[in-house]
């Protein structure tokens, strides 16, 4: 009796879920609780095969172009003026500005960055609605660097079959050399990636020297290490797992697509029924697909495109190149796998002529949003000022009665000089004729105060306005502070005005 009880206890301890209260016998008998391997599928490494063709050439062009821009843009010179790096593209935390060629974004203009993000998102929606996941297949950083890492891997270890054999082969001097050469090259590419990234946040020409001589900021070395590690890990080891599990875009894109969106599709109307084909045999009663599985062998995510549109498909179209090469060898028309729409596949099955509808409700809406936001941003950029004035009126107290019967109000003038030259400004109180202006720390020159503001700097001035006689005046008198640039030869904004109030205290 005790032996049977011990046996039952051991059996239950192997699978505590089965012995849990409330679990029915039918649930216990399901395969879900049988073994651990039923719950988790082991990851199978994807080793994409080399392929040649139109879309592979387009991917190489995209890779060279995007990587070239990424590595070279920080070194494009652009004259900025004294005290600022002469760099065309720069995120300058020290001076709290973002430079993009002739555009200079200040912290208070963060709405331009918001607009750029909105434009990027809507643009991606539009491109996806038209052409599917071309961003993922050609321009996504994960795709670009993975393509580069796979090319390095193929250079040292050979094509798909050679890499599979090498993985299974015992560790020899040859295998150690190949693996060491591959990983060393990967790390160098990853370091170049991280190094280029931090160049966008510092003076590139100075920083690249300081990095090698050990004089760069600690933050530069820290982010260099982070970017090196992430590039090496994501492009070298995680690859398709980033696209399938980590990236949210495959799940969002379903809302962007419809049956008129161009996607990489297997044309079932031509390919089925599939199966092996012997040379000289008739093609009657069967499809063009010979089940060679080359479309799977070249796929960077290892899927079978013949199963239809899938979350894992990144739209790289390498399966099109692989299938076209096979079709050419067996004497069948190309295009068994091609960019097509679900609607066209249905039309062919019905015997209708295929057509492409790029102008649809969603594409029109996306285009209008893009045009609207783009126009607003362009208008804002073309009408930007180089001078800003913000006035803060004292509220505690609102006014100060003086012993001579007058009333004084206090203000803080915040002046921002966005030019690359030092400026002097005069100030007036328009609409307050009785007011006498006094600025703390300044003396009048030729009857006027001259407020100095350095190039590219904000500066605060404490201003008091006194009215000697407030008899008959309203309690609240609106007026305007106007500052004027004293440089008559400047092409920048000459004046800036801001409305405020003068409190007389009458009626209180």
Domain ranges of the chain: 2-38, 54-252, 264-349, 387-503
Q: What pLDDT is attached to residue 259?
A: 87
Candidate from 13-17, 360-364, 486-490 with smallest mean pLDDT: 13-17
Q: What pLDDT is attached to residue 45?
A: 86
The residue behind tokens 């479309």 is: 295
Interatomic CA distance for residues 138 and 142, integer angstroms:
10
Query: Which residues are CB-contacts of 75 (< 8 A; sequence separation ≥ 6)?
Result: 199, 204, 205
Q: Kindly state the DSSP code that residue 48 receives in the 8-state scheme.
A: P
For 205, phi then psi, to 5°, come to: -70, -35
Interatomic CA distance for residues 188 and 172, integer angstroms:
24
Residue 32 has pLDDT above 50, yes or no: no
Strand ranges (E), 342-469: 387-393, 400-401, 407-417, 423-430, 435-439, 451-453, 458-467
Q: Kindly state the DSSP code that residue 176 receives in the 8-state scheme.
A: H
Interatomic CA distance for residues 442 and 447, integer angstroms:
12
Residue 434 has pLDDT above 90, yes or no: no
Task: For 59-90, write each residue's pLDDT tens digit.
Answer: 999 999 999 999 999 999 988 776 778 899 99
Q: Which DSSP helix (H) or strand (E) runs through 477?
A: strand 476-485
Interatomic CA distance for residues 456 and 458, integer angstroms:
7
Q: What pLDDT is attached to residue 279?
A: 85
Query: Which residues are CB-contacts of 67 (< 8 A; sequence separation ≥ 6)?
Result: 144, 148
Mean pLDDT calculated for residue range 267-290: 89
- Give strand pairing partners of 98: 91, 105
Q: What pLDDT is attached to residue 184?
A: 96
Mean pLDDT calculated for residue range 109-123: 89
* Cβ proximity of 484 and 494 under 8 Å: yes
* Structure tokens belonging to residue 367: 């285009």
Q: Kindly state the DSSP code that residue 274 receives in the 8-state scheme.
A: P
Among residues of the chain, what percentage have pLDDT more than 90? 45
* Average pLDDT taken over every residue of the chain: 85
Interatomic CA distance for residues 323 and 293, integer angstroms:
9
The residue behind tokens 């800003």 is: 388
Q: What pLDDT is attached to residue 29?
A: 42
Residue 491 has pLDDT above 80, yes or no: no
Candidate from 59-68, 150-159, 309-318 with smallest mean pLDDT: 309-318
Q: Is residue 3 very low, low, confident or very high in pLDDT (cuts 50, 70, 90)?
A: very low
Q: Is residue 228 very low, low, confident or very high in pLDDT (cuts 50, 70, 90)?
A: very high
Interatomic CA distance for residues 328 and 53, integer angstroms:
12
Q: What pLDDT is attached to residue 463?
A: 93
Q: Is residue 258 very low, low, confident or very high in pLDDT (cuts 50, 70, 90)?
A: confident
Residue 293 has pLDDT above 90, yes or no: yes
Residue 255 has pLDDT above 90, yes or no: no
Mean pLDDT calculated for residue range 218-232: 93
Interatomic CA distance for residues 464 and 438, integer angstroms:
5
Share of the chain residues as helix, strand and coil, in percent rounded to the nearest 5: 45, 15, 40
Q: Is residue 253 very low, low, confident or very high in pLDDT (cuts 50, 70, 90)?
A: confident
For 421, phi then psi, to 5°, come to: -130, 145
Mean pLDDT calculated for residue range 81-103: 83
Rg (CA), the chain: 35
Q: Kindly state the DSSP code that residue 247 receives in the 8-state scheme.
A: -
Q: Kindly state the DSSP code that residue 288 receives in the 8-state scheme.
A: S
Residue 327 has pLDDT above 50, yes or no: yes
The counts of H helices and E strands in the chain are 17, 14
Candidate from 145-149, 162-166, 324-328, 490-494 with smallest mean pLDDT: 490-494
Task: For 213-223, write each residue's pLDDT tens digit.
Answer: 988 899 999 99
Q: What pLDDT is attached to residue 2?
A: 43
Whole-number Cα distances in Å, 300 to 49, 103, 306, 317, 467 = 9, 39, 15, 10, 78
Q: Is residue 403 very low, low, confident or very high in pLDDT (cuts 50, 70, 90)?
A: confident
Among residues of the chain, what percentage have pLDDT more than 70? 90
Is the domain spanning 387-503 CATH 2.60.40.10? The answer is yes
Interatomic CA distance for residues 505 and 57, integer angstroms:
78
Q: Is residue 10 very low, low, confident or very high in pLDDT (cuts 50, 70, 90)?
A: very low
Residue 34 has pLDDT above 70, yes or no: no
Residue 396 has pLDDT above 70, yes or no: yes
Q: Is residue 4 very low, low, confident or very high in pLDDT (cuts 50, 70, 90)?
A: very low
Is this model's pTM higher than 0.75 or not? yes
Q: What pLDDT is attached to residue 324?
A: 95
Q: What pLDDT is attached to residue 508?
A: 62
Interatomic CA distance for residues 195 and 322, integer angstroms:
36
Buried-exposed string 129-166: b where 16+ CB fall within 10 A, e elsewhere: bbbbbbbbbbbbebbbbbbbbbebbbebbeebeebeeb
Q: What pLDDT is attached to residue 95?
A: 75
Q: What pLDDT is attached to residue 256?
A: 85
* Cβ proximity of 485 and 387 under 8 Å: yes
Residue 41 has pLDDT above 90, yes or no: no
Q: What pLDDT is attached to residue 475?
A: 85
Find, among 41, 57, 60, 52, the residue nearest to 294 by Cα: 52
Residue 493 has pLDDT above 70, yes or no: no
Interatomic CA distance for residues 414 and 99, integer angstroms:
23
Residue 25 has pLDDT above 50, yes or no: no
Find, among 434, 339, 320, the residue nearest to 54 by Cα: 320
Residue 224 has pLDDT above 70, yes or no: yes
Question: Who wins on pLDDT, 409 or 419?
Answer: 409
């Amino acid at each position: 009796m005790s032996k049977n009880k011990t046996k039952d206890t051991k059996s239950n301890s192997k699978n505590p879920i089965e012995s849990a209260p409330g679990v029915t016998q039918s649930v216990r008998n399901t395969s879900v609780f049988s073994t651990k391997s039923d719950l988790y599928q082991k990851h199978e490494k994807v080793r994409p095969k080399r392929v040649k063709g139109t879309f592979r050439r387009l991917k190489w062009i995209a890779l060279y172009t995007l990587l070239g821009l990424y590595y070279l843009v920080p070194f494009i010179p652009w004259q900025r003026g004294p005290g600022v790096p002469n760099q065309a593209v720069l995120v300058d935390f020290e001076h709290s500005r973002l430079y993009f060629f002739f555009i200079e974004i200040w912290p208070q203009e963060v709405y331009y960055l918001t607009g750029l993000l909105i434009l990027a998102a809507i643009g991606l929606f539009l491109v996806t609605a038209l052409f599917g996941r071309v961003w993922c297949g050609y321009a996504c950083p994960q795709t670009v660097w993975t393509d580069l890492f796979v090319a390095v891997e193929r250079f040292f270890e050979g094509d798909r079959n050679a890499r599979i054999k090498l993985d299974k082969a015992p560790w020899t001097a040859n295998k150690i050399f190949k693996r060491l050469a591959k990983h060393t090259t990967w790390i160098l590419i990853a370091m170049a990636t991280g190094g280029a990234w931090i160049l966008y946040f510092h003076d590139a020409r100075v920083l690249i020297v300081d990095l090698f001589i050990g004089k760069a900021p600690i933050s530069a070395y820290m982010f260099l290490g982070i970017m090196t590690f992430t590039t090496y890990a994501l492009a070298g080891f995680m690859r398709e797992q980033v696209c399938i599990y980590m990236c949210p875009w495959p799940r969002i894109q379903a809302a962007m697509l419809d049956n008129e969106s161009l996607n990489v599709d297997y044309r079932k109307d031509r390919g089925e029924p599939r199966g092996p084909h012997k040379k000289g045999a008739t093609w009657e009663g069967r499809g063009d697909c010979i089940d060679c599985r080359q479309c799977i062998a070249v796929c960077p995510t290892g899927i079978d495109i013949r199963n239809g549109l899938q979350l894992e498909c990144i739209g790289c179209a390498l399966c099109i190149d692989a299938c076209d090469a096979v079709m050419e060898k067996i004497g069948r028309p190309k295009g068994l796998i091609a960019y097509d729409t679900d609607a066209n596949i249905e039309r062919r099955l019905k015997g209708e002529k295929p057509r492409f509808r790029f102008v649809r409700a969603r594409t029109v809406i996306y285009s209008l949003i893009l045009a609207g936001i783009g126009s607003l941003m362009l208008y804002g950029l073309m009408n930007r000022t180089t001078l800003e004035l913000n006035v803060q009126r004292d509220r505690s107290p609102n006014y100060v009665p003086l012993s001579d019967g007058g009333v004084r109000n206090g203000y803080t003038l915040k002046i921002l000089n966005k030019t690359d030259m030092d400026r002097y400004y005069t100030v007036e109180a328009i609409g307050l004729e009785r007011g006498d202006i006094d600025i703390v720390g300044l003396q009048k020159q030729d009857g006027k105060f001259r407020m100095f503001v350095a190039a590219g700097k904000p500066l605060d001035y404490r201003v008091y306005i006194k009215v000697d006689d407030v008899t008959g005046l309203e309690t609240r008198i609106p007026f305007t502070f106007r500052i004027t640039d004293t440089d008559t030869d400047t092409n920048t904004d000459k004046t800036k005005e801001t409305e405020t109030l003068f409190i007389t205290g009458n009626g209180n």
